[in-house]
Structure 1
Amino acid sequence: MLENSWRFSKLSYGLIWKNKELLIFPLLSGIAEIFILASFIIPFFLTLQGGTGNILASAGFYIVLFIFYFVTNAIVLIFNTGLIACVFKILHGYNPSLGYGLSFAFKRLPQIISWSILSAVISVILNALEKNETISSLVTGILGVTWSAITYFVVPVIVMNGLGPIGAIKRSGETLRSTWGKALIGNFSLKIIGFLLLLPVLILLGIGLFFAINAGSPVGIGVVAGLGVLAFIVDYLLTEAVNSVFKCYLFVYATDREVLDEGYTEAFADAFCPKRR
């Protein structure tokens, strides 16, 4: 499994390295998320001031929470759809522009909006269940993991097939059921590898911070802190882009039995092996 994860990492990071402009999609998505979060601080504060026991305040909180989830999902999905649309084109030998990805995302706007509504509803329900003392946190955790699993390929389905939310969930679930394997584990492994790539940078920054503090240098502390923030931003952009690329490769192979890089045929075949009955 570790060998396959390393192969998938090289494959996915390699595509990003050759097409660095793809990092603009997660960058724009991250900036948008920051502005959305900032704009909802006051509404959340006002609804929470009413107290958890107040029915009207609780209703207000969940309405604001739904709007927050909906707006966040829609914005993130627009940029993610654009990224995945470009990756699919690249995998099939084309060289798409960023404009192509964004224009494609806006063509899928009806599907994006409908999926964002459904996703926001499910997120609010899961949030409410987590706060319910009569329901075990284990149950809500299982429900959350199950939802994440069956919707794993939803964005590629929206991009490739233009299906609505129900059709996208069904197709995503069918893809996992018909070619069950290590897709989700592989995705998790890529995140671990992304952290391991960041770890040496964090160690060096920690050493630099230690010396800056001992020297009593505010400038040195500020520089190290700035470099730390930059390192986390770069790692976030790479991780988001690489995960999308990985998902595209898996989806293409899972649905079409098509591996564009023949050297990775064995790895993909191992990741998507038929279920044993």
Structure 2
Amino acid sequence: MRRLANSWALAKSSWAVLKADKELAVIPVISFVCTIVVMAAAGGAVWLTLDPTSQAGETEITPTPFTYVVGAVGYLLITFVVTYFAAVLVSGAYQRLTGGDPTLASAFSQASSRIGPLFLWSMLTGTVGLILQALRDRAGFLGQIVVRLVGMAWEIVTWLAVPVVVVEGTGPVDSLKRSASLFKQTWGENLVAQGGFGILGLLVVLPALLVIFVVVPAIPIAGIAIAAIWIAVTSVVLSALNGIYRTALYLFASRGQAPAAFSSEELQAAFQPKTRRF
């Protein structure tokens, strides 16, 4: 409970940073739009590779080997877009937390200066995602559980990889090692942070669900519009808070000093050294 309460306190500090730099909330919006565009382009490319065959007067569409290649390339491109914009958000948060006054231009500039390492990192994490998905498709019930656990472990261990790439400019292997090393220091707060934002996301979505059940039956168009806008706005805010939080954890874990807008006591409580047992 103490760790969970501390995570909520850190989330409040992240909110204070976001209020000081509201432009950071624009980055998830741009990321969403660009991701949708890339997804649409990839989907169209996959559609063009499908093989329509006619049998008994009916047309059956089947994938070709090229379909899987194009699909994999599209998935990797989407992963890169998501990774790049995550890096833009981390760049803006990093500038603010280290005493700067970020703008959208400065955040994009810093992330773009790491475009090579970010691309390589996205290819690594995207490839791991493809492998895990292939294993899930071929595994039995128990195998799927194991693969999902492996996937969750990968996401947790690599949670600080994007800040590592943005700040340190390391390649994919070194970034993975560095993120794993920082995870060993922050494992408790790392896990609770991700879980805490999941709980926070559930809580802020509840009003939208209430609107769906209460307003939509009476005024469908208005109810759906209100719920959609609420979910979109809260998703943007939570995404921005997550990026700020992640950057703050990275800074404290790597430098041992609380970044601006964060309490030293809160962060110190988050990273208490583990006691060894013999």
User: For the Cα contact (< 8 Å) 2:158–2:179, is it kept in 1?
Assistant: yes
User: For the Cα contact (< 8 Å) 1:183–1:272, is it kept in 2?
Assistant: no
Within a 5 Å distance, the mapping from 1:150-189 to structure 2 comes to 150-189=157-196
Within a 5 Å distance, the mapping from 1:122-201 to structure 2 comes to 122-133=128-139, 136-201=143-208
Q: CA deviation at 1:18?
A: 2.0
TM-score normalised by the chain length of structure 1: 0.86
Q: CA deviation at 1:14?
A: 1.8
User: For the Cα contact (< 8 Å) 1:111–1:163, is it kept in 2?
Assistant: yes
User: For the Cα contact (< 8 Å) 2:98–2:260, is it kept in 1?
Assistant: no
What are structure 2's unaligned runs of at least 5 residues? Answer: 53-61
Aligned residues: 265
User: For the Cα contact (< 8 Å) 1:130–1:137, is it kept in 2?
Assistant: yes
Q: CA deviation at 1:48?
A: 6.8
Distance verdict in 2 for CA 1:174–1:59, change over 3 Å: farther
Per-residue displacement from partner, 1:37-69 (whole Å, max 9, x unpaired)? 22232444566768xxxxx95743442232122
In structure 2, the partner of 1:25 is 27
User: For the Cα contact (< 8 Å) 1:69–1:120, is it kept in 2?
Assistant: yes
User: For the Cα contact (< 8 Å) 1:7–1:264, is it kept in 2?
Assistant: no
* C-alpha distance in structure 2 between counterparts of 1:190 and 1:103, whole Å: 28
User: For the Cα contact (< 8 Å) 1:181–1:274, is it kept in 2?
Assistant: no
Q: CA deviation at 1:262?
A: 7.8
TM-score normalised by the chain length of structure 2: 0.86
Residue identity matched to 1:174: S
Per-residue displacement from partner, 1:228-263 (whole Å, max 9, x unpaired)? 211111111111111111101111111111113587
Note if 1:66 corresponds to 2:72: yes
User: For the Cα contact (< 8 Å) 2:87–2:166, is it kept in 1?
Assistant: yes
User: For the Cα contact (< 8 Å) 1:202–1:228, is it kept in 2?
Assistant: yes
User: For the Cα contact (< 8 Å) 2:92–2:102, is it kept in 1?
Assistant: yes
Distance verdict in 2 for CA 1:12–1:263, change over 3 Å: closer
Q: CA deviation at 1:71?
A: 0.9
* C-alpha distance in structure 2 between counterparts of 1:12 and 1:197, whole Å: 16
User: For the Cα contact (< 8 Å) 1:158–1:164, is it kept in 2?
Assistant: yes
What are structure 1's unaligned runs of at least 5 residues? Answer: 51-55, 213-220
Deviates more, 1:147-156 or 1:126-135: 126-135
* C-alpha distance in structure 2 between counterparts of 1:48 and 1:266, whole Å: 58
In structure 1, the partner of 2:59 is none
Q: CA deviation at 1:29?
A: 0.5
Residue identity matched to 1:16: L
Residue identity matched to 1:95: D
Q: CA deviation at 1:208?
A: 2.2
* C-alpha distance in structure 2 between counterparts of 1:131 and 1:29, whole Å: 29
* C-alpha distance in structure 2 between counterparts of 1:65 and 1:229, whole Å: 29
Distance verdict in 2 for CA 1:174–1:58, change over 3 Å: farther
Per-residue displacement from partner, 1:109-148 (whole Å, max 9, x unpaired)? 1111111221221111111101113671122112212211
Identity %: 27
User: For the Cα contact (< 8 Å) 2:135–2:147, is it kept in 1?
Assistant: yes
Q: CA deviation at 1:4?
A: 1.3
In structure 2, the partner of 1:243 is 242
Q: CA deviation at 1:92?
A: 1.7
Q: CA deviation at 1:72?
A: 0.9
Distance verdict in 2 for CA 1:138–1:84, change over 3 Å: same
